[in-house]
Amino acid sequence: MRRRTLLSASLGLGSLAALACFDRPNSARSDLRPYSGSGKAFGTTVSIALWHDDATQAQAAITEALAQVSQVDALMSLHQEHSQVYQLNLLGRIEKPDPHLVKVLTYARQLSEQTAGAFDITVQPLWRVFTQAQARGELPRPEAIASAKALVNWQGLSAGGQQVSLAQPGMGITLNGLAQGYAADLVLASLHAHGISHALVDTGEFGALGHKTTGLPWVLGIKNPRHTDALAAKAALDGRQLATSGDYETFFSPDYIHHHIFDPATGDSPTTLASATVLAPTGLMADGLSTAFMVMGANKALALAQQLPQVDALLIHKNGAIQVTPKFPALSA
């Protein structure tokens, strides 16, 4: 998976390893020390930074958490031949799917229902035709888009504990809009189980435990989609997880009109938003909703966010205008 890099950890730092220099999470705990670790997954670098009072326990927690990420990547990768997503796309069905896969597919269906199909993991045929055309130095022809679009149908995916199947030959799924958020959830749960109280996690989406200084939350910088060396805003993590989707990390035309997010209704990319940042109770929700909001556009996205408990959004239009839900914890950039 290749993911967009739209966020910089705390005031624009490029990697979470740099968080080790931050103030102690609790000034009364002089025994806390910074620890960090990273690994490769989803086509990017996954990072964990934490504070703890025991080096052995901290390193064990990081090792186990990174193993959780690797498990999700191996299960849901589009490119690893042994992944269940790869096998599903190749064969049209898999038997005895992994429970993690079933959980993510179940949420994908729920989100498709909530968004009237704006979120749809069966857009993989559209990705194929656009990447094939890009390899030829062009955009796909309208008839190729129409043929791929005919295979996009979230209702044609059946997922249960015994089998996952696709309704038509040629259909395919992508979990690039869910897997990294789900991995962040598993990492946070693993760290918590190891007794970690203060941590910041970057799996391509962000999650946190505790805080970095007494009374001060972890802060993330949201990059300007058209000036990637500048921030459009900063957001304070408040116990929720954060994800951003945007048009500029993986694109098929230099004007960002055609990019890696597809609108199932048109067979091409949505046209109004440059990025969507979402805070939600879980990384899985934040990841999926950020993709869905890109497709839905600002008005529908903001309306849905207001209906969902503990969900807030910051949306940046292609013209640079910013809209936020009333409770989004935005800070001045």
Summarize the annotated binding site for Mg(2+) as residue ranges.
177, 287, 291
- Looking at the DSSP assignment, which residues form a beta bridge with residue 44? 41
Tell me how far CA of residue 98 lies from CA of 55, 162, 213, 271, in angstroms. 33, 9, 39, 36
Residues forming a β-bridge with 243: 278
* 205: three-class secondary structure by DSSP: coil
Residues counted in the chain: 333
Three-state secondary structure of 64-133: HHHHHHHHHHHHHCCCCCCCHHHHHHHHCEEECCCHHHHHHHHHHHHHHHHCCCCCCHHHHHHHHHHHHH
Q: For residue 162, count CB atoms less than 10 angstroms from its CB and return exposed for 0-12, middle for 13-18, buried for 19 or more.
A: exposed
- CA proximity to 235, closest of 26, 8, 34: 8
Q: Are 3 and 240 in contact (CB under 8 A)?
A: no
Annotated binding residues: 177, 287, 291
Phi and psi angles of residue 160, each rounded to the nearest 5 degrees, phi first: -145, 180
Question: 209 vs 24, 36, 65, 107, 331, CA distance in Å?
Answer: 14, 14, 13, 23, 20
Interatomic CA distance for residues 54 and 31, integer angstroms: 9
Q: Where does residue 143 rank: exposed (0-12), middle (13-18), buried (19+ CB within 10 A)?
A: exposed
| Residue 151: both structure tokens together | 């295979």
Q: In this structure, what DSSP letter does residue 23 have?
A: P
